[in-house]
Amino acid sequence: MSPIVIKVDFQKDAWNWLSAILKKQSYGIDWQQFIPLTLKKKISNKNEKEVANLVNSFLKKKYCIRGKKLNKYADNLQKSLNNVADNIFTTMETITEKPIYRKHFTGFITTFPRGPYNSKKGYIWFIYDKSNDWQIMAFIHELLHMQFAYYYKEALLKKINNEQFSFLKESMTVIINKEFAHIISEQDKGYEIHREFRKYLLNLWEHRRGFSQFVNEAVKHIISNSHIVKKYSKTKL
């Protein structure tokens, strides 16, 4: 069995829609802009349960039309990921100097343009209609998040707070563009609010002696420049 299994799951897709709608904003992105106008009008001034029912009804119609295309898309993505999975995991272990923290991952196709993840369960949401190369990049992006959090979060939270840890976690994906260039051509662009720190981290990565040293230096920088996270704390996930 593949270490990454791609599925079409209506409930997991609906959860992503509802989560984004209720969250409204994260990482500086206004998710409301991606809600179709017809649905946005219906859910206006509705409570959470009513919104959930309306989202389900909206998606059922979408799945009636796109169901076969979603399954075909999932099958195609599965084959693409199967071809590079071993290479991705080997490279990630080399970079982080740690074994991959779990053996199996599950990917859910989502029709909302937001790709969250659940590190405890190994869940990743793949945005429908993106290219395979883009999806592979997205998987590597989330895998680095999960790997970093699993091995470093507990210890680092004794030095920095949750907002600062998340700021570092989101910013460090800039290293993907260099270290996984042999697998994908797609670039990890990150979020605008992390742009300047990503530049610093890329330079730090070039002069690292190891992943732990890279992380420790990055943490020192965050502590010494705590103001860089203030803006982020207002747009955190």
pLDDT bucket at 1, cuts 50 / 70 / 90: low
- For 45: left if phi > 0, alpha if psi spans -120 to 50, otherwise beta; the answer is left
pLDDT at 87 over 70: yes
Distance CA(64)–CA(68), nearest Å, equals 9
Q: Name every residue whose Cβ is closer than 8 Å to that of residue 72 and which is 6 or more positions away in sequence.
A: none
Question: For residue range 187-218, what is the model confidence (pLDDT) as tens digits?
Answer: 998 888 888 999 999 999 999 889 999 999 99
pLDDT at 164 over 50: yes
Question: For residue range 122-150, what is the model confidence (pLDDT) as tens digits?
Answer: 999 999 999 999 999 999 999 999 999 99
Mean pLDDT over the full length of the chain: 92
DSSP symbol at 98: S
For the chain, the domains span 4-233
Average pLDDT score over residue span 219-235: 75
Question: For residue range 166-177, what is the model confidence (pLDDT) as tens digits?
Answer: 999 999 999 999
Helix and strand numbers, DSSP H then E, in the chain: 9, 6
pLDDT at 231 over 80: no
Give the pLDDT score at 148. 97
Distance CA(136)–CA(203), nearest Å, equals 24
The dihedral formed by the CA atoms of 47, 51, 54 and 58, expressed in degrees to the nearest 10: 160
